[in-house]
Chain A
Amino acid sequence: MPFIPHTQDDIRLMLETIGLSSTDQLFAEIPPSLQHSDWSRLAPAVNEMSLQRQMQDRAKQDEIRLNFTGAGAYEHHIPAVVWEIASRGEWMTAYTPYQAEASQGTLQLLYEYQSMMAHLMAMPVSNASLYDGASSLAEAILMAIRCQSNSNIRRVLIPRSVHPFYRQVIKTIVRVQHIEILEIPFDLGKGQTLVEQLSLYSDQQLAALVIPQPNFFGTLEAVDDLTDWAHQQGALVVGVVNPMSMALLKPPGQWGKQGADIVCGEGQPLGVPLASGGPYFGFLCCQKKLIRQLPGRLVGRTRDRNGKEGFTLTLQAREQHIRRSKATSNICTNQGLLVIAATLYLSLLGAEGLKQVAIASHTRTRQLLEALRAIPGITVVFDSPFFHEGVIHLPLPVKSVCAQLQAEGIEPGFSLTDHYPELGECFLVCATETKTAVDIQVFSAALQKILAKGVAC
């Protein structure tokens, strides 16, 4: 029996001990009318060998030649060490470190992770992970609302330059708590949120302003001005950032005069494969004075009774297993294994390595945008500083052009026509350090050919 070790003798002896004659009697308390026996619509078992064969075929269907899609999930090189070590059974098959003495490995690693994320964001506190980028922003907004001294202040400003899926997730998660989400438009020429446009919202009772960096278009936002504006209104600043970019860009803790109050985002760029969108992990950092409103697990360094250094889960009174309906969040299981991978990744690269990956990604994207801009009919839409993505406008329908590139094994990027119809026939491209000059050439040549053909007919 797969994974079940019982022999006939075992079963007999165990039933004897219990005082039963068959295993069916174990289920005597289940009313007979509820016992279901027809499972014929499920397939019979297959063995590992044949299943592996089938899965190789299925995995093959999803392989491609070149990927230039980012839009919230980024293809970076992951050093072999990351998953070799993260896949050790001692990491993979442990659970939440409730028994601290038997979980010092996990707990120390989480403390190291919290420290690395805090340094990267220039924030004093980081939790031990949430589910993913979008849900971490939802939790950050709920946290910002809890931090208000006046519980009637429930309005949050979110630029439309925040990832459209993040904004959808926020609607699902926070609206039910009667939080008002106001979306602010971006400047169509710059692809940035303009501080001038915010004046419409001043003198209102604002709980928080969300500031993305870089924003969904890859463009850099004027984080200092936005932060200072929000603080002048008495609102909190919630930064949502790409952690990879923070090796290069000004970290949220240093935005404006006071820095952001809460920072969250998608941890995937730090050592997590694309893998169809998950498992990834969300991160959440905050200023010290807000720590009691922080959702999720938190590890603290302490001493044992002999005075030896050790690590333990702390401030657990925020959490659902203690506080139940009064908890800061319902989160229990988080994304521990991905945090392990990220900690390995950050240790391996170090500050210098991380910065190099960030700069290389930026450079490749600049080269890509230059190559595409040189193609007749194509424009690079926004004329603003960027990190590693850009918006491209095509003279032909985006979806049909993309389909032709995909047929050649190139994923060209993410079409913006559904989410930003005001931009016209646009799509979002990304190049990371994984792309070579030749890759960029292959992409631009293929695109040029398709456009030439399209214009001709």
Chain B
Amino acid sequence: MLIFEKSKKGRHTAHHRSEAMGDCSDIPKHFLREEPLSLPEVSELQVVRHYTQLSQKNFSIDSHFYPLGSCTMKYNPRGIHRMASLTGFLSRHPLASLSHSQGFMAIAFDFQEMLKEITGMKGVSLTPMAGAAGEFAGVLMIKAYHHARGEDERNEMLVPDSAHGTNPASAAMCAYKVKEIPTDSQGNLDITALKKAISPKTAGIMLTNPSTLGLFEENIQRVAEIVHEAGALLYYDGANLNAILGRCRPGDMGFDVMHMNLHKTFATPHGSGGPGAGPVAVNERLLPYLPIPMVDKQNDHYHWLTEKERPHTIGRLSTFMGNAGIIIRAYLYLRLLGREGLARVSEYSVLNANYLRKRLQQLGYTLAYPERRAAHEFVLTLKREAKEFGVNAMDLAKRILDFGCHAPTTYFPLSVPECWLIEPTETETKEELDHFVEVLKDLRREMKETPEIVRTAPHTLPVVRLDDVKAARELDVVYEWAH
């Protein structure tokens, strides 16, 4: 039942009224709203109950194992949420004077410095508001770099066929033509194809390492050489940074620019779809172009860097300072981990992934790249199951929801047919992984004995499978009030 359907005319939650009601008779009538506004009229308890009950229809990290590949659904520490919600942080106006901003700015500055160290880069800007916004900023910096060198003819961006959809979309938003590079049989970028594709028109290449196949790009140094020799730059998509945190650094691999997903690697809550934050880090040659504002420190006093101090900046990406609250949270996470905790993140996320991968292989599931070592996530291909039992990757994903596990990412990367991308993260216990293995063991039996149950799953959730075709054809995206 919708909140609108719980509404009753004349029911007001009066205590929100302000005592300074006042009037607006000084505003000429033609500026004013004529038609009444339709919003629900419900009591405070009705609101609390309605949205509590709705929340309970969600799978979440707090309630379920959530091995959604590429999304790093690790535990989001509660203490961090509480500290980030301190009054001084929540009440600070983004345009407050420097004298009332030193607390936040100290955090932002320290965090910029920490990220430089973690990435092996020379400069950091925190303003991009999600991974895709970070990609946009990074690609725009590449464009500004070539432009400054008089090389505007570089109008192509190379992207592997296994890349996140945001990579080609971000390149297109920066007016680049996108060229796809295939993957070789071992899951690495196809070097021969790369050499063939690269030309004086190449502006750069966007890579994730480990790749979206969950594999460390073994030839990364060779790739960097080839790209740099051609005068192009390397972009690092930080979606998979969890796999190498505290162990190796994109700056050392030869990348020129990168973004990080704070909501993945740095444990900030995913919030039912966001907010994230996508800070960008660059090496020496892209330093002048970083987006503003940034924070600087002089004599223990923090101040903003804007277009005045940074005339070559690509500019501003958000009204104020990006997702400041997420920046605070990620900073707090790093403080709790400390330098000794960084490498543990990659160590145990990769251990969990490889353990789960081995156990599933033992059950008879097919690994996309069995000869390789998995990073923090791995790809299964279910094409054999699809052929033998007539159940596809989506059916199987829907069925495990019935067992209280969120589904892995399905049908991504696009280069592997009928695939699942599984990322358990470091915060899961061995027992939880073993439980997941048991679920997939039962699933193997089910797909042989009662495939119909799998094909029609889920069976225990608030709804069974939804009619997506009807949703798109008979678009109903806004509730119509019956007046």
Contact = CB atoms under 8 A, between A and B. Distances in A.
A91 B55 contact: yes
What 5 A-B pairs come out closest when comparing CB atoms? A363-B22, A45-B338, A277-B320, A89-B62, A337-B271
A228 to B, nearest CB: 13
A360 B16 CA distance: 12
B58 A103 contact: yes
Contacts of A92: 60, 62, 76, 81, 269-272
A134 B318 contact: yes
A274 B93 contact: yes
B44 A30 contact: no
Given A89-B60, A105-B57, A351-B38, A111 B21 contact: no
Contacts of A346: 39-40
A283 interface: no
Given A250-B33, A274-B92, A95 B273 contact: yes
A27 B247 contact: yes
B475 A101 contact: no
> Which of B3, B79, B216, B344 has the most CB atoms of chain A within a 10 A radius of its CB?
B3
A91 B129 contact: no
Contacts of A34: 220-221, 248-249, 252-253
Chain A interface residue count: which class? 35 or more
Interface in A431-445: 433, 436-437
Contacts of B195: none
Contacts of A303: 466-467, 470
Interface string A224-247: 100000000000000000000011
B479 A111 contact: yes
B369 to A, nearest CB: 11
Contact of A23 (B38, B270, B351): B351
> Which of A18, A19, A354, A402 has the most CB atoms of chain B within a 10 A radius of its CB?
A18
A5 interface: yes
B348 A101 contact: no
Interface string A106-148: 1011011011101110101110110111110000001000000
Contacts of A455: none
Nearest to B269: A92
Interface string A386-429: 00000000000000001100110001001000000000000000
B94 A90 contact: no
Given A89-B62, A355-B37, 9 more contacts: A84-B48, A94-B60, A254-B34, A315-B472, A330-B169, A332-B131, A336-B274, A353-B12, A360-B18
A321 interface: yes
Given A29-B218, A248-B33, A336-B274, A118 B478 contact: yes
Interface string A315-342: 1000111111111011111111110100
Interface string A291-332: 100000111111111101011101100011111111101111
A276 B477 contact: no
Contacts of A98: 68, 409
B55 A334 contact: no
B322 A102 contact: no
A411 B479 CA distance: 41
Contacts of A96: 270, 272-274
B94 A73 contact: yes
A123 B187 CA distance: 48
A94 B56 CA distance: 11
Interface stretch (A7-15, A194-202, A373-381): A7-15
A4 B133 CA distance: 30
A151 interface: no
Contacts of A457: none
6 contacts: A59-B103, A61-B88, A93-B61, A115-B479, A353-B16, A406-B99
A371 interface: no
A347 B427 CA distance: 36
B477 A111 contact: yes
Given A278-B321, A304-B464, A169 B339 contact: no
A254 B170 CA distance: 35
Interface stretch (A62-70, A183-191, A203-211): A62-70
B269 A30 contact: no
B153 to A, nearest CB: 16
A43 interface: yes
A305 B464 CA distance: 6
Given A3-B74, A102-B406, A304-B464, A403 B133 contact: no
Contacts of A97: 272-273
A275 interface: yes
Nearest to B307: A168
B4 A115 contact: yes
B173 A329 contact: yes
Contacts of B38: 119, 351
Interface stretch (B227-235, B354-362, B439-447): B354-362
Interface in B278-318: 291, 307, 314-318
Nearest to A352: B12
B435 interface: no
Contact of A94 (B91, B140, B270, B319): B270
A271 B62 CA distance: 24
Contact of B427 (A4, A330, A349): A4
B279 to A, nearest CB: 13
A330 B135 contact: yes
B274 A129 contact: yes
B302 to A, nearest CB: 10
Nearest to B45: A81
Interface string B351-374: 110110011000000000000110
Contact of A356 (B17, B107, B274, B359): B17
Given A105-B58, A333-B132, A177 B464 contact: no
Contacts of A84: 48
Contacts of A173: 136, 173, 317
A45 B335 contact: yes
Given A118-B478, A332-B130, A26 B354 contact: yes
B471 interface: yes
Given A35-B248, A94-B59, A42 B22 contact: no
A111 B476 CA distance: 9
A334 B12 contact: no
A453 interface: no
A402 to B, nearest CB: 7
Contact of B317 (A75, A169, A362): A169
A99 B334 CA distance: 31
Contacts of A333: 130-132, 261, 263, 270, 273-276
B117 interface: yes
Contacts of A40: 339
Contact of B401 (A102, A281, A356): A102
A149 interface: no
A63 B324 CA distance: 16
Contacts of A55: 83, 86, 89, 332
B339 to A, nearest CB: 4
Given A23-B351, A44-B339, A304-B464, A93 B76 contact: yes
A112 B291 CA distance: 35
Nearest to A45: B338
B458 interface: yes
A43 B338 contact: yes
Contact of B273 (A14, A116, A276, A334): A334
B355 A298 contact: no
